[in-house]
Structure 1
């Protein structure tokens, strides 16, 4: 339920609260859509996403008029969560290498669960290119910061390039969502462990 202004027009702090509520509702919707995409792919019916989010189908279409709009919003939301996790992990993990390893696990989860993204956005190459540029702009510096911290602590070799590492990890994740015999996370763990100085 929204906050209604009194007859005098005063809302006090209701406008910021309403904006915060709307933001939380949109985040809940994006989280529900992300979970549905992981479970059923990006072609999951919108009514299933609406039911999981506890909103009407019309609410989803009001915020995201097309499926491509919803997909882009979900992945931008997940990119932001992955980017924000880097500094948090660095501050709360035992060592910078631990933070790097834990962040790489989040990155693998993100990559493996975005199956269908390219196909879904194929009709809108501009949207896909913009999303990919945002992905690189936000996540490469986070990875670079984690690598620098681990190298400065003397835990890993200092010549690892963030983009190169992320590209390699991305390649290790190809097909991981369709092959139950392949564990991309285990392979990435081997790579991250291999960065250690012995």
Structure 2
């Protein structure tokens, strides 16, 4: 790909990321993205044939952020419970950054046709990293899986997101989840 085409693609993805963050996936049109990025609709569709492909590209930097947050939590000091809670708190923060995202993403888990499938896979992969690391230490129950963690922590995030609770109020609920998945 030519350098100017790469720059166009990156600019389009950056603009789309801002629009998706501000308005939500459903409220953003491909025409709006093209206009905001200062490119023709044909250029947009050449780089991103569907809105879902554009969304996936727009969240790629976010994928790296989520992965790094899981790694940071696991590398932290403290007990396995402390590290698990550090990850859960990061996860809730990610899910509650945009009003309404927590329930949308959590309810889309397992639905590959969802416009949020890429985000769901990112969270599933991050939770699997945490499970693998902590299970390797013998710290988790053997029947814990990534989908369960996504749904449990996502449920906590949805309660916080759709209520008058402060995000810090999730910590007590997350402690209950952590205690339920830890071994012994």
The answer to whether TM tops 0.5 is yes
Deviation at 1:172, TM superposition (A): 2.7
Please tell me whether the aligned partners of residues 102 and 158 of structure 2 are also in contact (alpha carbons under 8 angstroms): no
Given the alignment, which residue of 15, 19, 23 partners 1:36?
Answer: 19
- Aligned counterparts, 1:104-183, within 5 A: 104-112=88-96, 113=98, 115=101, 127-128=113-114, 132=117, 135-136=120-121, 138-150=122-134, 157-159=140-142, 160-174=144-158, 177=161, 179=162, 181-183=164-166
**What's the TM-score once normalised by structure 1's chain length?**
0.55
Q: Please name the residue that 1:103 is paired with.
A: 87
Q: Secondary structure at the match of 2:70?
A: helix
Alignment root-mean-square deviation, CA = 4.4
Given the alignment, which residue of 151, 172, 178 partners 1:190?
Answer: 172
Deviation at 1:169, TM superposition (A): 1.7
Q: Please name the residue that 1:12 is paired with.
A: none
Query: Which residues of structure 2 form unaligned runs of 5+?
Result: 105-110
Query: Which residues of structure 1 form unaligned runs of 5+?
Result: 1-14, 119-124
Please tell me whether the aligned partners of residues 99 and 146 of structure 1 are also in contact (alpha carbons under 8 angstroms): no
